[in-house]
Amino acid sequence: MLADIPVHRPSSLEEALALLADPPDGERPTPMAGGTDIMVVLNSRHVVPSSVLDLWKLDELRGLSVQDDGTLWIGALSTYRSIIASPLANAHCPALVEAARTVGAVQIQSRGTLGGNVANASPAGDSLPVLLAQGCDVVLQSRDGGRRTRSFDGFYAGYRQADIQPGELIIGFRIHALPPGATSWYRKVGTRLAQAISKVVLAGVAACGDDGTLTTLRIAAGSVAPTPIRLAAAEAAGLGGRPTDVAAAVGAGARADVTPIDDVRSNALYRREVSGRLVESWVRSL
């Protein structure tokens, strides 16, 4: 049922970047990682790209490791399954492991990749708020421009607009280390308990100083704005205060931060209210 279009199948990153820099049939192919988003689009024939660049064979883009600076490197083609199974991910970014568990079900988890989730640029992407909350750099590469590293914060200029320049591929991610003593948090409100697209997805990182006040508070949300967003007003309302004192204010901040819409999965009122309540409950529990 798939649209009949050319599929390029490079076996190295170099070859893939060359195909992107110099497309054989003139028009730049659409990169595909695990295909869990693009194949659905192709099957539905709603939007047909001119050709596809199948990245699945690029093993060099797989794997997790901890860098000297304490960041966690995750290759763009790492699947959710490999993240769930990785002791490094469990130790350094447990919220990402939680997020990965909520993606689709087992078959999707063993095919869907972190790079694909980021490049697909859906505001509902399950992993994206984790990357925002914990902090993360995106590493991209092109044949002519070499490597480029940029912060994931601000990576999306607007709805489904990722800062991926023509000819670039996402190579991987450097996820920042959690601050000492910090805890992380993840909560997805989906339409059901598996194979669910999010109505609201939230992630947070928090740490308290010796006096019990919040020294770190980073909160991010998905499905509540055209892109995944940091909840700036919520964070500002919480920093420096004791969790139980500021929880309500943080929740109110979250309600102000989000700009949700009504769609087929939920409605704006629900998304706003639930964002506030969940953030408040989490801060209260710190």
Partner 1 sequence: MIVGSSPPRLDGADKVTGDAMYVDDLQFDGMLYGATVRSRQAHARYLGYELDPDYDWTDITVVTHEAIPGGNYVALMVDDQPALVSDLIRHPSEPVVLLAAPTREQAEEARAHVKLLVEPLPIVVDLEAARAGAGPIWGDDNIISHLEIQKGDGPGCVDKALAEHPDAILVEGRYYTGAQEQMYIEPQGIIAMPWGKGGIEILGSLQCPYYVVKALAQLLDVPAAEIKVVQAVTGGGFGGKEDYPSIISAHASLLALATGKPVKLVYDRAEDLSSTTRRHPAITWHRTAVAPDGTLLAMEVDCAFDGGAYTTLSPVVLSRALIHGVGPYNCEHAMVTGDIVATNTPPNGAFRGFGAPQVCFASERHIDKIAATLGRDPVALRRQLALRIGDTTLTGQTLETSVASDEVLDVALEASDWDRRRAEAEAINARGGVPPADPIPGMGTTGRLRGVGMSFFFHGAGFTGNGEARIKGRVRMEVRPDGQIVIYSASTDIGQGTRTVFPQLAATTLGVGIERIEMHTPDTSVVPDSGPTVASRTLMVVGKVVEDCSNALKARMGFEGGDWDAAVDAFFAGGGDGSVELEYQTPPHVEWDNETYQGEAYPCYAWACDVVEVEVCPDTYETRITGFWSAQDVGKAIHPVLVSGQLEGGSLQALGFAVLEEMKFADGQLTNNRMTNCIIPTALDAPEMDMRLVEAPFAGGPFGAKGIGELPMDGGAPAVLAAIEHATGLSLDSLPASPEALMRAAAE
Partner 2 sequence: MTDATTSTRPAKRILSLRINGSTWEGAVEPSALLLDVLRYQAGLTGTKRGCDMGTCGCCAVRVDGEPRLSCLTLALDCEGRDIKTIEGVADGPLLSSLQQEWADCGAAQCGFCTPGFIMVGEALLERNPKPSEAEVREAIAGNLCRCTGYVKIVEAFMRATAD
Interface residues with partner 2 (CB under 8 A)?
Answer: 1-7, 9, 25-27, 35-36, 39-40, 42-44, 50, 52, 54, 56, 104-108, 110-111, 193-195
Instruction: Select from 113, 189, 188, 125 the least CA-distant residue to 156.
Output: 125
> Applying CB under 8 A, does 242 fall inside the site for partner 1?
no
When CB distances are held under 5 to 8 angstroms depending on the partner's kind, the choice from partner 1, partner 2, none that residue 108 binds is partner 2
CB of 191 to partner 1, least distance (A): 6
The residue within the footprint of partner 1, chosen from 1, 146, 158, 180 (CB under 8 A), is 1
- CB of 160 within 8 A of CB of 119? no
When CB distances are held under 5 to 8 angstroms depending on the partner's kind, the choice from partner 1, partner 2, none that residue 189 binds is partner 1
Strand boundaries in the chain, DSSP class E: 7-8, 30-32, 52-54, 64-66, 72-75, 136-142, 146-151, 156-158, 161-162, 169-175, 183-190, 198-208, 214-222, 229-230
CB of 214 to partner 1, least distance (A): 19
x/- site string to partner 1, residues 31 to 60, per CB under 8 A?
Answer: -------------xx---------------
> Applying CB under 8 A, does 100 fall inside the site for partner 1?
no
Enter the tokens of residue 154.
């601000």
Element (H, E) at 39: helix 38-44
Helix ranges (DSSP H) in 62-136: 80-85, 87-92, 94-102, 106-109, 114-120, 128-134
Residue ranges binding partner 1 (CB under 8 A): 1, 4, 44-45, 101-102, 105, 187-197, 199-200, 264-267, 269-270, 273-274, 277-278, 281, 285
